Amino acid sequence: MIEQVWQDFVARPGVYIGALCTIGLMTLIYRENVVYRFFEHIFIGLAAGFSIVALVKNILDPFLYQPVFKNGEWYWTFVFMFGLLFYFIHSRKYNWLSRLPIGFLMGFSAGQIFQIFSNTYLPQLSNSFRPLYVVTENGSFDFAKSLNNLIFMVVLVTVMSYFFFSFEQKSKAIRNSAQFGRWVMMVAFGAIFGTTIMARMALLFDRMYFIFSDWLRLVQ
Amino acid sequence: MTGASANFWDKLQAIDRRILYLLLLIVVIAPLFLPISLPTVTMPSTQRLYDAIESIPPGGFVIVSATWSGGTRAENMPQTVAILRHAMQRGLRVAVFSFDVQGSQLSLDIAKRLAAEYGYEYGKNWVHWGFRPQVGVVMKSMVRDIPGTFDKDYQGKPTKDMPMMQGIKNIQNVDAIVEIAASGIYADWIGLVVGANPKLKFGFCPTSVMVPETYPYLASGQIVGTMEGMRGAAEYERLLKKPGLATVGMGSISLAHVLIMLLIVIGNIGYFATRARRSR
């Protein structure tokens, strides 16, 4: 039996180590313990190591080493040197040099944000103007769509009224509207919480499936 | 009310978390051994994504971006499998890449497996562009010049002479982009790419946590359809008539939800009973 397990371990060590790590990390649900701490540190260390390897293998090698030193595209070194100017932020005398790449990136980001803002929110703004009296293709009154649009408008206006901070909400109508907007948002937050639970359950299922299917092979 | 019954109501609010975790483990594991078949209702958002891919004629060009890592494998992996399977079933040209290093490798493994299943030839029917850093730069660049942006595949081989890249110059030549992600990257796609081609179909496959924030984009049509977490993937598998991991998982997840709702009800009964006792 032990020999069989050992042979299986040698054949697929990655699965065994993954299963041990999973169980080790899940011991936390019993109580805080040394085993959990050990695997937690391994996990953090691996993640840090992985990102360094990824940086070298997937960014520095294909975008700097290969083009410059293998293909002779020497002009890319200017980009690299421009990036290195960031490090002058540690120098008291020459820290003004670091402002060059920072300014470049800020300008680039600002330009992008203008475009992203208009492309993202303008279609949504125009979509907010919905008819409250909807007519179907054959000319009859579409009650369901009209009701849907009415609910949408009420929710939109009441939630927006909650965020009117530019004046004191003395009017009873505004106060009630803001109160209703707050309740509507509570419903939305409840929905978000529900989906969060769903995501966590999916992660738990994935780990259990890994243990019982990939590792123990009890489930097909 | 006696002391014993008062104690009982208090205990309902303070059940040992280890008992709760044990119950949760049982309801998650049990359906693995005793599969339960639950009726699946396809959400309109899933149906819309399916219809969008279905409407692309064979030979159309689809880009699948797999920006996820091992941490969200449970939800994003079945989504990736489902969308690639659909594209390959339809005979579409598929280009896969990722803004995440792990996602690049994970999506490559999935694409290779499905390509073998559907007889897809690398370079002719599908390609993997590998990992790409800098989201904004890549997106801005691919709007104008796709072969220039993705000049090499994951192995560093040139892509411009690949048969599947013929006729692909810029975003105007792309039929659909599907982003499978555990982050808000869809906003970058919408802001920088989607508006550049009014005919482009942009689908998004988020984790369950992110689903509510995508609804305004679905309503405005900026996102053509979504696959909402593992549930969305299970619905998509059903539409494809190819049950997979998501379909199996939905039994466990549904039971877990029932358990959580029961526990919330029990906790609330205990709370109200204790409050009524104190007010007397």
Instruction: Please name every residue paired with B226 in a beta bridge, in sequence order, or none if there are none.
Output: B204
Alpha-carbon distance A170 to nearest alpha carbon in chain B (angstroms): 31
Q: Which amino acid is at B44?
A: P
Lookup result for tokens 């599907």: B178
What confidence score (pLDDT) does residue B259 get? 95
Q: Shortest CA distance to B152 belongs to which of A50, A104, A184, A61?
A: A61
Q: What is the pLDDT of residues A6-55, one digit of tens each?
A: 999 999 999 999 999 999 999 998 999 999 999 999 999 998 998 899 88
Task: Give the residue on B whose Cα is nearest the Cα of A30.
Answer: B18
Instruction: Give the per-residue pLDDT at A168.
Output: 80
| Angstrom distances, CA of residue A132 to CA of A135, A140, A143, A148, B220 | 10, 14, 10, 9, 17
- For residue A195, give the nearest of B72, B156, B211 by CB distance: B211
Q: Is B174 buried (19+), middle (13-18) or exposed (0-12) by CB count in 10 A?
A: buried
* Percent of chain A residues topping a pLDDT of 90: 69
Mean predicted confidence (pLDDT) in A184-212: 93
Does residue A166 surpass a pLDDT of 90? Answer: no
User: Which positions in chain B touch A104 (Cβ < 8 Å)?
Assistant: none
Q: Is the pLDDT of residue B181 over 60?
A: yes
- Give the one of A29, A59, A219 whose C-beta lies nearest to B21's C-beta: A29
In eight-state DSSP terms, residue A217 is -
Work out the minimum CA distance from A105 to partner chain B, whole angstroms: 11
3-state helix, strand, coil in chain A (%, to 5): 80, 0, 20
Task: Please check the confidence at residue A59 and state whether its pLDDT lies above 60.
Answer: yes
What are the b/e assignments for A165-176, b being 16+ CB within 10 Å? eeeebeeeebee
Mean pLDDT, range A118-122, rounded to an integer: 90
Between residues B224 and B276, which one has the greater pLDDT? Answer: B224
B 13-52 near A (Cβ less than 8 A): 17-18, 21, 24-25, 28-29, 32-33
Using 50, 70 and 90 to split pLDDT, how confident is the model at B276? confident
Chain B residue with CA closest to A115: the answer is B191
A125 Cα to chain B: minimum distance (Å)? 9
Best B73, B209, B254 member to test A by mutation, with max A CBs in 10 Å, is B209
Tokens of B254: 């549904």
Tell me if B32 and A112 make a contact (CB, 8 A cut-off): no
Averaged pLDDT, B234-253? 94
- The Cα A171–Cα B51 span in angstroms is 49
| Residue from A23, A61, A66, A120 to probe the interface with B (highest B Cβ count within 10 Å) | A120
Beta carbon pairs, A and B, within 8 Å: 124
Q: Is B164 exposed, middle or buried (0-12, 13-18, 19+ CB in 10 A)?
A: buried
Of B261, B211, B205, whose CA–CA distance to B81 is shortest?
B205
pLDDT of residue B1 exceeding 60, the answer is: no
Q: What is the C-alpha to C-alpha distance for residues B238 and B247, in angstroms, rounded to an integer?
A: 8
Please say whether the beta carbons of B32 and A219 come within 8 A: yes
Non-local (6+) Cβ contacts of B224 within 8 A are B48, B49, B52, B176, B201, B202, B203
B195-234 per-residue burial string, b: 16 or more CB within 10 A, e: under 16: bbbeebbbbbbbbbbbbbebebbbebebbbbbbbbbbbbb
Whether the CB-CB separation of B185 and B99 falls below 8 Å is answered with: yes
Q: Which DSSP state fits A141?
A: B
Contact A123 B28 (CB under 8 A): no
Neighbouring CB atoms inside 10 A of B247's CB total 21
The answer to whether the beta carbons of residues B176 and B200 sit under 8 Å apart is yes
**B 182-201 residues inside an 8 A Cβ radius of A:** 187-188, 190-192, 194-195
Q: Is the pLDDT of residue B5 over 70?
A: no
Tokens of B161: 């002479």
Residues of B in contact with A202 (CB under 8 A): 74-75, 208, 229-230, 249, 253
Arithmetic mean of pLDDT over chain B: 93
According to the per-residue pLDDT averaged within each range, which of A163-167, B101-105, B176-180 is highest?
A: B176-180
Nearest to A103 by CA among A85, A120, A117, A90: A85
